[in-house]
Structure 1
Amino acid sequence: MDPALILPPSPDRRWTLAKQIGVNCGVARFWGIDDWWEYDTLLRTRNRFEDHDISLRVVEDRPPMTRTVLGKEGRDEEIATVKQLLRNMGKLGIDTYSWVWTENPVGVVRTSDSIPDRGGSRKSGYDHAWDRQADDHPEAGITETELWENLEYFLNEVVPVAERAGVKMALHPDDPPLSPVRGVPRLVTSVEKYERILDLHPSSNHGVTFCQGNFAAMKTDIPSAIRRLGDRIHFVHFRDVEGTAESFVETWHDDGPTDMRATIEAYRDIGFDGPIRPDHVPRMAGEKDRDGAHAGYTDMGRLFAIGYMKGLIEQTA
C-alpha cells in the first residue's frame, strides 16, 4: 500500500507537508483549471510532482460529463475528451483515474460542516431530511433504466481505451450512496450495484475507488466488501462515517465504528498495493475550510490520518 495525499497541481505548503511526513505519492485534482486533460497540462503537472520527488499516481477529477450521464446530444464529444485524458495519462505513466457517475451537481455533498467533536474540532455531515426539501433537479425525469443504458454505452467506449493506455479506471461510489437525490436516480449505491457495473464491461482496467466512508454509509461490513470486490479495487479513500446514508457524520479516523485495522488486513489479503489516501477529516483549531464546497480537506486532520494509517500498515505487515 502506498500512502498518498490529494494535492494541488502546483507546489504549495501542502506539498512541503507531504514530504515532511514521508508521503511520496500524489493524487491530483484540477479545481479551477480549464482543459486540464490536455497533454501539455498533464505533462507539466506530472513533472512538477516528479521534480519534488512525488510520484503522481492518480488523477481524481472528471472532465465535463453531464451529457454523457444523461444520454444527451453531445455525449460523444464529452466521451472523446475522457478518451483523450486516458491516452495522455498512459503516455505520462499516471496509472489510475478516479471518476464518478453522477450528473453534477445533483444535491449537496454535505448539509453541515461545523458539527462539534472532541476538543472543539468540527466535522462535516449529511442529513437527507434537509436535502429532500430542496427543489427537484431539472433532470429529475430521467429513469434508472436510462442511466444504466448510458453507463454501459460509456464503458463500452472508454474501457478499451483505458486498456490500451494501461490506465486503471476506478469508479467512486455516489456520495451519499442514496437514490434518488433531488429526483435524480443514482446507480453506485451498494456492493451489488458495483458488481453489476463491473459486469457491464468485464476488464481488469475497470474497477473501484473503495471509499470506506461511503461503503460504511451503505451499512455493509467493510472488510467483507473489500474481499468481495478483491482485485478490482484500484484506489482507496481511507475514512469512516457514523450513521446511515440518510444521516451521517464523518468521524476522526480513530474514532468511528469501522475496525480500521481490519480494513488494512483485508487489503493485504486481496494483495492491494495501490495508492491509499485519507479523506474528509475534521477541522482543527485555527483552520478554515478553503471554501464551503470542499469541507473536510483541511491539513492537520489529514496529517493525523496519515500517521494513523502508516501505523496500521506497519502493524499489519
Structure 2
Amino acid sequence: MQVAEAYFFHDYVCDFWDLTKQMGITDAVIPLTSLMEGPAWGVENLSKVKQMYENEGLRVTVIENMPPSNKIKLGLPGRDEEIEYFKTLIRSMGLLGIPVLCYNFMAEIGWFRTSMNMPTRGGALVSGYSRQAMEALPLTEYGHVSEEQMWDNLKYFLERIVPVAEEAKVKLALHPDDPPVTPLRGISRIIRGAEGLQRAIDLVPSPYSGITFCQGTLATAGEDIPSAIRQFGKQDKIFFVHFRDVAGTSDNFYETFHDDGKTDMLEAMKTYYEVGFNGPVRADHVPTMAGEPNHYPGYEIMGRLFGNGYMIGLMEAAGYKREKSHVQTVK
C-alpha cells in the first residue's frame, strides 16, 4: 500500500510538504496546476509540476482532477473537444510515468455538501448533507437529465478514452458520485454505489479501467465495505483508495473522524491486505480541529495528521509493512 497525501490546497512548496515527509509519506496526489502558458494537461506543464514535487522528494502517483468535462458528462456540443483534452492528459501522464488518473462522472455539481461546519467530537468541524436542504434548491440551467442520458454519455466517453489509457498504460480510477443520491437539482447521478461502479467499468472492459474506492461514499450508500473491497479487489479494479468514514444515511449524513464512523476500519484494512491491494491510498475528508480556520473544509492540516497516523497504524495491524527511514543517531 502506497500512503499518499493530496496537495489540492498546498500545491506549492511549503511546510505541509515537510510535514508529509515527516510522516513517512512520499507519494503525492496532485491537481492539474498551470505553472506555464498553455493547458495544464499538456506534457510540458505537467513535466514541470512533476519535477517540482520530485525536487522535494515527493513522487507524483495520482492526478485527482480533470480537464473541463461538463460537456462530456451532459452530452453537449463541444464534448469531443473536451475528450481531446483528456487524451492529451493521459498521454502526458504516460510519458511522465504518472500511473493513476482519478476522475468522476458527476455533471455540473461535483462533490457536494449542504453544510461545511457541523460540530462533531470535541467541537471539531466536519461537512454534512441534508436531503431536505438540498431539495430546497432549484434546478440547474440544464433542467432534468435522465439516468439513461448519463449512461449513454459515459459509454461514449469511455469508448474513446479507454484505448488511449491502454496505449499510455495509465489507470482510469472512477470515483463514485458524492453524495450517492439522485437526482441533484434535476441532474441524475448514476455511480451511486457498487452496482453503478461495476456497470461503469463493464461498459468498456479493460485492465486500465477501474475505480477509486471511496470508503466514505460507499458507506454513505449503505454498502458493506469489506464485501465491496472483495468484489472489486478480486477483479484487480481498485486503483486508488480514499480512506474515510461517515455517520448517517445517504439522506442525512456527516463526516467523522477516521475512528468514529460507521465502518469497522480495521476490518476494512485487513480486507485490502487480504485481496492484495498495493496501490495508493490517502486519508480523505478530515475534521477541522481546534485553532484551525476551516478555510479548507475537509483538508485542514491537523485532521490530516490524525487521519494519516490512524491509517498507518491500521496498515501495520493488518499486516502491511512500510519501509522505515534510517537516520543516524545523534551522539
Smaller-chain TM-score bracket: over 0.9
Q: Is the Cα–Cα contact under 8 Å of residues 287 and 303 in structure 2 kept in the other structure?
A: yes
Task: Give 3-state SS (helix, strand or coil) of 2:172's partner.
Answer: strand
Match of 1:191 in 2: 194
Deviation at 1:140, TM superposition (A): 2.4
Match of 1:202 in 2: 205
| 1:238 maps to amino acid | F
1:234-249 to 2 correspondences below 5 Å: 234-249=239-254
- In structure 1, list runs of 5 or more residues that go unmatched: none
Match of 2:2 in 1: 2
| 1:281 maps to amino acid | V
Deviations 1:72-110 (A, max 9, x none): 11111000000000000000010000001011336x711
| 2:18 maps to amino acid | T
1:263 equivalent among 268, 273, 279: 268
Equivalents in 1 of 2:108, 2:185: separation in Å? 12
Q: Is the Cα–Cα contact under 8 Å of residues 32 and 66 in structure 2 kept in the other structure?
A: no
| 2:137 maps to amino acid | A
Q: Is 1:274 matched up with 2:279?
A: yes
Deviation at 1:289, TM superposition (A): 2.5
Deviation at 1:24, TM superposition (A): 0.6
Match of 2:315 in 1: 313
Match of 1:26 in 2: 28
| 2:290 maps to amino acid | A
Q: Is 1:88 matched up with 2:92?
A: yes
1:299-310 to 2 correspondences below 5 Å: 299-310=301-312
Q: Is the Cα–Cα contact under 8 Å of residues 10 and 45 in structure 1 kept in the other structure?
A: no
Deviation at 1:31, TM superposition (A): 6.5
- In structure 2, list runs of 5 or more residues that go unmatched: 320-331
Task: Give 3-state SS (helix, strand or coil) of 1:209's partner.
Answer: strand
Which runs of 4 or more aligned residues in structure 1 lie more than 3 Å from their structure 2 counterparts after TM superposition? 30-34
User: What is the total number of aligned residue pairs between the two structures?
Assistant: 313
Match of 2:53 in 1: 49
Deviation at 1:16, TM superposition (A): 1.3
Match of 2:106 in 1: 102
TM-score scaled by length of structure 2: 0.92
2:298 equivalent among 296, 299, 311: 296
Deviation at 1:2, TM superposition (A): 0.9
Q: Is the Cα–Cα contact under 8 Å of residues 114 and 133 in structure 2 kept in the other structure?
A: yes
Q: Is the Cα–Cα contact under 8 Å of residues 33 and 49 in structure 2 kept in the other structure?
A: no
Match of 1:135 in 2: 138
Q: Percent of pairs identical after alignment? A: 44
TM-score scaled by length of structure 1: 0.96
Deviations 1:244-302 (A, max 9, x none): 11110100001111000111111112211011001111101111233xxx521101101
Task: Give 3-state SS (helix, strand or coil) of 2:212's partner.
Answer: strand
Q: Is 1:68 matched up with 2:68?
A: no
Larger deviation, residues 57-66 vs 23-32: 23-32
Equivalents in 2 of 1:147, 1:195: separation in Å? 15
Q: Is 1:233 matched up with 2:238?
A: yes
2:220 equivalent among 217, 221, 225: 217
Alpha carbons of structure 1 residues 32 and 90: separation in structure 2 relative to 1, 3 Å = closer
Match of 1:111 in 2: 114
Deviations 1:191-239 (A, max 9, x none): 1111111110011110000110000001110010010111101000000
Equivalents in 1 of 2:33, 2:53: separation in Å? 17
Equivalents in 2 of 1:140, 1:63: separation in Å? 24
Larger deviation, residues 264-273 vs 159-168: 264-273
Deviation at 1:48, TM superposition (A): 1.2
